[in-house]
Amino acid sequence: MKPIPLTSETEKLARRLVWFEEPVDALADPIRFVAYALESATHEDMTVLRKYVTDADILEALASPPPGIIRPRSWAYWNARMGRYPAPPLPTRQLG
């Protein structure tokens, strides 16, 4: 996935979606950032993000999201929205 540039729009988006990190750090990993967006973004947030992210980018994020970010409801919605139905299993954390 191509990098998501730090602009005034993406900075505001990053501050809202990944509030616990600085925007430059949140945007440094675009797959992780898109995963947070798929879980928490509003329609307005996604309108902004879609200026920088294509369907292929969203599919890439769905193919390998970090475990624990996207909950089952959002996972089912975005997979169906992107034509992946039924949705594959959610990624899980591997401990030890």
Q: How far is CA 2 from the centre of its chain?
A: 13
Quote the pLDDT of residue 95: 85
- How far CA 29 is from CA of 12, 22, 48, 76, in Å, comes to 16, 12, 18, 23
Question: What would the pLDDT profile of 10-57 be if each residue is shown by its tens digit?
Answer: 999 999 999 999 999 999 999 999 999 999 999 999 999 999 999 999
For the chain, the average pLDDT equals 96
Quote the pLDDT of residue 13: 98
Question: Could you give the CA distance from residue 62 to residue 34 in angstroms, rounded to a whole number?
Answer: 9
Whole-model pTM: value is 0.94
